[in-house]
A and B are shown apart, each in its own frame.
Chain A
């Protein structure tokens, strides 16, 4: 199966391991991720204002390229996923916005949100299947107590994201089970780490991050897993006492391709 792939700026720089292992594992699972040519940064956060056009064009370009190849579009970073999915939804449901975008870009064929957008976790669940992953696991992470950290961007707003129950999600816990480990459920798994406020008010981001990591630790977790480079940064920088890793690193470990190293 071939899918279009949008890595995003941070996966090419500070979060190379998130990207590297995502590709590596996809190969093992029979999926080829074809990187969108000349993709542009999504901007990190979706601007909800209907009058914002230019800041959403990079997402539309990626979506349109995937449509031209008749492929679904996969993202790994929570933020890219949120921005691209919300932009796609606006192209589907806001006719005025879509017509402005199409007028501006003047593509040969108008784009109206036809591309299916998958987060990598959804790809694992819906296109590969957690049972199929279980069968490919050669190095189960048996006995490891892992706390899934969803944060904000994977789940909200649910009317658009439609990934899982936004208040009681299980996709990451099911993923943790598939690689042989034990998920730890804790109260703050879908609350904010502070995000970009780390620039504006580091104290606020510290408070938010500590609440999350303490909540996971108190529930007995020995490790936290995330899909978001900014969540990981905030949790680690603000002194999480347990390690925080990307879910693709754990997948690579379980599939036996971690030794391949981060090239």
Chain B
């Protein structure tokens, strides 16, 4: 693992509080994930790839924006690995960079309708924008 990757891996682990070494690769997190079909990398892959330092593909993947924050993988992992916290940490390490927001205020008018609750918009901003 090169130095940049090593640093990123440490930062993601520190930010998330997750210990990927606890994972026993049972796949239950991915089996219960409601966004599974739309993800290129699934929750268990986030765990394994962060563990091995193979983080670059995750940084560039749309999977970061498919997680629904449903906490199912956090609740149901038999080893309390809490994969969604890694998804969140990787996503933050992207959108915190200048100019890397996934959603901007200008995008909003085209995405909403009259019935949509404010909650949907503030939640999306919290997940996609820094």
A-side residues, CB < 8 A to B, are 8-10, 13-15, 41, 43-52, 55, 77, 79, 152-153, 155-158, 166, 191-192, 194-201, 204, 207-208, 228-230, 232-233, 236-237
B56 in the interface, Cβ–Cβ < 8 Å? no
A48 is contacted by which of B16, B34, B123, B124 (Cβ under 8 Å)?
Answer: B16
Are B84 and A191 closer than 8 Å at their CB atoms? no
Min CB gap B107→A, angstroms: 8
Question: Given contacts A52-B92, A152-B72, A194-B68, is CB(A77)–CB(B119) below 8 Å?
Answer: yes
Are A197 and B71 closer than 8 Å at their CB atoms? no
B71 is contacted by which of A43, A152, A199, A200 (Cβ under 8 Å)?
Answer: A152
Within residues 96 to 120 of chain B, which ones have a CB less than 8 A from any CB in chain A?
Answer: 103, 111-113, 115-120
Bound-state Cα–Cα, A197 to B15, Å? 24
Which interface class (under 10, 10 to 19, 20 to 34, 35 or more) fits B?
35 or more
Question: Given contacts A49-B89, A156-B70, A192-B68, is CB(A200)–CB(B118) below 8 Å?
Answer: no
Are B116 and A198 closer than 8 Å at their CB atoms? yes
Question: Given contacts A48-B88, A51-B15, A195-B70, is CB(A230)–CB(B126) below 8 Å?
Answer: no
Bound-state Cα–Cα, A194 to B65, Å? 12
Question: Given contacts A49-B16, A200-B66, is CB(A44)–CB(B119) below 8 Å?
Answer: yes
B-side residues, CB < 8 A to A, are 14-17, 34-35, 37-38, 65-66, 68-72, 74-75, 82, 84-85, 88-89, 92, 103, 111-113, 115-124, 126-128
Are A10 and B74 closer than 8 Å at their CB atoms? no
Contacts of B72 in A (CB 8 A): 152, 156, 191-192
CB closest residue in chain B, given A190: B72
Bound-state Cα–Cα, A157 to B76, Å? 9
Query: Which A-B residue pairs are the 5 nearest by beta carbons?
Result: A44-B123, A156-B71, A196-B123, A192-B70, A229-B117
Question: Given contacts A51-B15, A233-B117, is CB(A45)–CB(B66) below 8 Å?
Answer: no
Are B34 and A208 closer than 8 Å at their CB atoms? yes
Are B71 and A196 closer than 8 Å at their CB atoms? no
Are A194 and B34 closer than 8 Å at their CB atoms? yes
Are A79 and B75 closer than 8 Å at their CB atoms? no
Contacts of A52 in B (CB 8 A): 92
CB closest residue in chain A, given B128: A200
